[in-house]
Amino acid sequence: MSDVAVNRAEEIVFSALKFQSSAERAAFWDRSCSGDAALRAAVEKIWAEYADGECFLNECQPALSPGAEAVRLLADSTDFTDDISAEFDSDKIVGSNIGPYKLLQKIGEGGCGTVYMAEQEQPVRRRVALKVIKLGMDTKNVIARFEAERQALALMDHPNIARVVEAGATETGRPYFVMELVRGIKVTTYCDEHRLNVRQRLELFIQLCGAIQHAHQKGIVHRDIKPSNILVTMLDGVPVPKVIDFGIAKATGGERLTDNTLFTAYEQFVGTPAYMSPEQAQMSGMDVDTRSDIYSLGVLLYELLTGKTPFDQSELLQSGLDEMRRTLLEREPHRPSTRLDALRADELTQTTLHRRVETLKLKPLLKGDLDWIVMMALEKDRSRRYQTANGFAMDIQRYLNNEPVFARPPSRLYRFQKLVRRNQTTFAAIAAVSVTLIAGFGTSTWLFFREREARQETERARRNEVQLRTEADARAKIAQAALLISRNQLAEADQLVDKIQIPVTEPSLEAAGVFHTLGNWNVTQGRWQVAADRFMQLEQADQVDKSDLTAVGTRDLLGAGPALIVAGDLKRYRQFVQVTLHRFADTSDPVAAEEVMKNSLILPADTMTLQELEPLVKLLQSSGAQNDPAAEKNDYRIPWQTLALSLYEYRCGNFTNAIIWGQKCLAYSIPTPPRVVMAHIVLAMAYSKLNQPENARLELAAGREPIENKLPDGPEKIVDLGRASTGIWHDWVIAYFLLHEAEKLVKYSSFS
Amino acid sequence: MSDITLVLEAVSQGDGHAADELLQLVYGELRRLAAARMAQESAGHTLQPTALVHEAWLRLIDDGSRTWRNRGHFFAAAAEAMRRILIDNARRKSRLKHGGGQQRLNIDDVEPAATTPDEKLLMLNDALEQMEKENPEYARIVMLKYFTGLTNHEVAETLGISESTVERHWFNAKRWLVKKVRASA
């Protein structure tokens, strides 16, 4: 019989199912087969099969029905997954052995496994913690990954780290880890129960950073820092935090993280999304480094201070996976001090009580430095975070010592860019539509690009490995240097960073701070060439946010130009001028424009440089702030803009304009010393060019004296780095060079 | 709020590991509910597994609408949980009957006519395991209809297919299963 006929027969039987009585069914069959005996026979056969199936299923039913029986079974059942996990869910296993370990007692149960206290008899009798991982893991891979990191793990030796000593498989094939037994309680619980105040919490946290730093130096990233992995034990009455589970997250999560499936590191994810760094949440694979731990430490500090995590764990879980990732990747958390506002009254009371601080005093305590410190650790872009746990700890130490901290509030532009970044999804959607449209036209081109991209990716990965190692080394040096600086050991710090090659230093605010301090220090030491080197390093390190074109970006550049000139390195000075000119050509911040102009015009400039400065000049002229004498009350930097314009006009040969701007500059009531001095000198040069020697001499005299008082031994010897109100060293150095130029000019013209 | 939303999400993204997790979650909830109901209900009252599954769904998903699309995974897990309980039970009982010790019922030794419902269920289960490999679409329907007692309409809604497709597949699936059982017996 043909397939068609069988199908036809099936159709007939199926259609007849709705008839309850056999007579009706038979009548329907007869009619449908209309005398085709073969078809009729097929129908009978199919019906027989169907009836048999129906009957068989019903015969099985007593096992299922009445329904109450099934429900009773369900109620009475022990775990049906017994061959995999039931043994571990009950306490039955206690008393039995896993490998050489005898399980004594269950001491904990977490998202990814159960922890037992166990006893080892051979080779030494000792107690250990044994963690049996839940089902669903590829045991072989877990153990292989652990073994791969075992040597590195063995190198860790730190009083605040509980070591993981072994990994193995149970008889039923589940992976387990053996680690140092820590009898302690969760760090957050400890802090609350013992009512540690903010300072005590910070001190405990600094200890913790030390442990993480140690691990990082051995090349181990924890990847799962969270309160339940940090236990506090009492040792001779002193609380000692211990970090547990090192190496486990990598062993149990490693493969998943590099997996292509969207949703991977599942166990980890469900357990602790609140502590997960954006790059972990992104799951782009392999690219998780020590700075991921810095983020998690930041979350921990946040919780220690406010009692809450930056993003609420249950809200994250509730929002669904995609939304959760979006939150972690894009949403800016509230600052700790602001987070307190969102607490319910009773929560706030509880939080402040636990910290032994009056209800209204916690917020002011967190506001400012502590806010910025925490937020710096929580930066989405890891290059903006503290680069090392040490750096993090040191900034907290600086706070505790009432010293200025490295962390600082983000600039307005930077925040604006974040706003754009937050709305990326919209842009991405638009982009996706465009791609679809274009794809229709050029799939092959697209494939070509994709293939090329893949090749480049591989190449990048290979280079990355070397690069990452060098970068990690540079980061470690920076952190050490920062530590030395905090102990005022500047010479040692300087030596340490001397070897760091500029391209290797990744932009980081911490590095910027180090280079800035060391640049200035070398200035006071009269080591101008080295100072110039540091300022150039600073220029690199400062480019955390290359698109930040505000004065926050230029401020760190001010030392470089003068330092290069004093060092006599005019070639590098010209290069530096070009670099900054290009970088800030599109700035819209008048202060940045002014600073770049001043930096570029210390010496007579060529036509090209003057042309390139034009947009900045236009910006200053259009801002018009300098035309308002009252403006300086709002901003002391505005008079500087008139000076920059005066100097620019002079360099361009527009001496009359130079005089107009110079006089405006002098009309301001706040006499910022180097600015006033420079204005006099530029005026002197302009008058000289306009053949007004008397005016020129008067202006020159007005400018000369303060400079000679300030720099009696010339620019090479800077005693005082200065302040904004009295003039910072680099401005005095610029004034000195302008004076030098003017002296020659005025002397020459007076003889002519 | 439990982890279930997240787990369902993960399952829908093809995470096999999460499927295990889901099964445990759903099973745990079913077991808890069953125990609670058994304690409440008067003896003799017939509480259907279907009702239990529906209740578990409502309890676990308190924000129903958002994860509605994941309903299929949930009911599939519930069906799997019910199936394992029944199969475990049947296996234990038939093992007792055959003197225990036997890991698995050897279907060749058993004459279908002389078999108990429990043994039949085990045979059905073996056939179903085959079906999952060879004809997963049928198997999904059998699971939902047979082990959680969903109606055709509910199955259609849960799997996102038409009701007539469910009816036809169910019709074919029954024939397929019994053929397998007869063939291996």
Nearest to B47 among A63, A71, A314 (CB): A71
Task: State the residue for tokens 């005693």.
Answer: A719
Poorest-pLDDT segment among A37-41, A141-145, A230-234, B169-173? A141-145
Q: Do A80 and B27 touch (CB under 8 A)?
A: yes
Nearest to A75 among B17, B35, B121 (CB): B35
Separation CA A133–CA B20 (nearest Å): 14
Touching check for B45 and chain A: CB below 8 Å? yes
Mutation test of the interface with chain B: which of A10, A11, A13, A80, choosing the one with the most B Cβ atoms within 10 A? A80
Touching check for A427 and chain B: CB below 8 Å? no
Poorest-pLDDT segment among A127-136, A249-258, B169-178? A249-258
- Given a cut of 80, whether residue B63 has pLDDT beyond it is no
Q: Do A71 and B14 touch (CB under 8 A)?
A: no
Give the residue among A596, A631, A628 at the shortest CA–CA distance from A615. A596
The shortest C-alpha distance from A222 to chain B (Å) reads 23
- Note whether A288 and A264 are within 8 A (CB): no
Poorest-pLDDT segment among A309-313, A519-523, A664-668, A721-725? A721-725
- Given a cut of 70, whether residue A682 has pLDDT beyond it is yes
- Note whether A302 and A308 are within 8 A (CB): yes
| Residue of chain B nearest A269, judged by CA positions | B6
DSSP code string of A516-554: HHHHHHHHHTT-HHHHHHHHHHHHHHTGGGTT--SHHHH
Average pLDDT over residues B160-175: 90
- Given a cut of 50, whether residue A217 has pLDDT beyond it is yes
- Given a cut of 50, whether residue A40 has pLDDT beyond it is yes
Tens-place pLDDT, residues B38-62: 666 554 455 667 777 777 777 766 5
How big is the A-B interface in CB pairs under 8 Å?
152
For residue A123, is the peptide bond before it cis, meaning its omega torsion is within 30 degrees of 0?
Answer: yes
Separation CA A738–CA A282 (nearest Å): 54
The shortest C-alpha distance from B122 to chain A (Å) reads 9
Give me the residues paired with residue A179 across strands: A129, A164
The shortest C-alpha distance from B82 to chain A (Å) reads 8
- Given a cut of 80, whether residue A440 has pLDDT beyond it is no
Q: pTM higher than 0.80 for the full model?
A: no
- Given a cut of 50, whether residue A480 has pLDDT beyond it is yes
For helices B163-184 and A37-60, give the axis angle rounded to 10 degrees: 80
CB < 8 Å to A264, chain B: 15
The shortest C-alpha distance from B26 to chain A (Å) reads 12
Pick the catalytic residue from A36, A82, A224, A259. A224
Touching check for A627 and chain B: CB below 8 Å? no
Separation CA B35–CA B50 (nearest Å): 15
What confidence score (pLDDT) does residue A306 get? Answer: 94
Tens-place pLDDT, residues A587-614: 888 888 888 999 899 999 888 889 989 9
A378 Cβ neighbours under 8 A, 6+ residues apart: A295, A298, A299, A302, A310, A333, A385
Q: Do B1 and A73 touch (CB under 8 A)?
A: no
Percent of chain A past pLDDT 90, that is, above it, reads 15
CB < 8 Å to A321, chain B: 6, 9-10, 13
Average pLDDT over residues A327-337: 88
What confidence score (pLDDT) does residue A90 get? Answer: 43
Nearest to A320 among B66, B85, B118 (CB): B66
The shortest C-alpha distance from B77 to chain A (Å) reads 13
Q: Which amino acid is at B147?
A: F
Residue A702 or A287, more confident: A702
Separation CA B123–CA B117 (nearest Å): 10
What confidence score (pLDDT) does residue A514 get? Answer: 84
Q: Do A54 and B177 touch (CB under 8 A)?
A: no
The shortest C-alpha distance from B161 to chain A (Å) reads 18
Q: Do A60 and B120 touch (CB under 8 A)?
A: yes
Touching check for B88 and chain A: CB below 8 Å? yes
- Rg of chain A over all Cα atoms, to the nearest angstrom: 37
Q: Do A81 and B85 touch (CB under 8 A)?
A: no
Give me the residues paired with residue B27 across strands: none
Q: Do B9 and A136 touch (CB under 8 A)?
A: no
Please indicate whether residue A548 is annotated as part of the active site.
no
Separation CA A526–CA A715 (nearest Å): 9
What confidence score (pLDDT) does residue B81 get? Answer: 81
Residue A131, SS3? strand
Residue B96 or A352, more confident: A352
CB < 8 Å to A75, chain B: 31, 34-35, 37-38
Report the run of H or E that residue A583 belongs to, with start and end: helix A570-584
Q: Do A54 and B174 touch (CB under 8 A)?
A: yes
Average pLDDT over residues A620-632: 66
- Given a cut of 60, whether residue B67 has pLDDT beyond it is no
Touching check for B49 and chain A: CB below 8 Å? yes
What confidence score (pLDDT) does residue A683 get? Answer: 94
Average pLDDT over residues A628-641: 68
Residue A395 or A175, more confident: A395
Tens-place pLDDT, residues A401-429: 887 777 776 544 444 444 444 444 444 44
Beta strand A101-110 pairing with A113-120? antiparallel
- Note whether A275 and A226 are within 8 A (CB): yes
Touching check for B103 and chain A: CB below 8 Å? no
Touching check for A260 and chain B: CB below 8 Å? no
- The pLDDT-based confidence of A369 (bands split at 50, 70, 90) is confident
| Residue of chain A nearest B18, judged by CA positions | A266
Give me the residues paired with residue A114 across strands: A109, A132
Tens-place pLDDT, residues A445-471: 444 555 556 556 655 555 555 666 677
- The pLDDT-based confidence of A30 (bands split at 50, 70, 90) is confident
- The pLDDT-based confidence of A635 (bands split at 50, 70, 90) is low
Tens-place pLDDT, residues A494-510: 888 887 765 555 667 77
Separation CA B171–CA A13 (nearest Å): 10
Q: Do A60 and B117 touch (CB under 8 A)?
A: yes
- Note whether A340 and A348 are within 8 A (CB): yes
Touching check for B137 and chain A: CB below 8 Å? no
Q: Which value does ipTM take for this structure?
A: 0.79
Report the run of H or E that residue A167 belongs to, with start and end: strand A164-169
Tens-place pLDDT, residues B98-148: 544 444 444 444 444 456 777 788 888 889 999 999 999 999 999 888 888
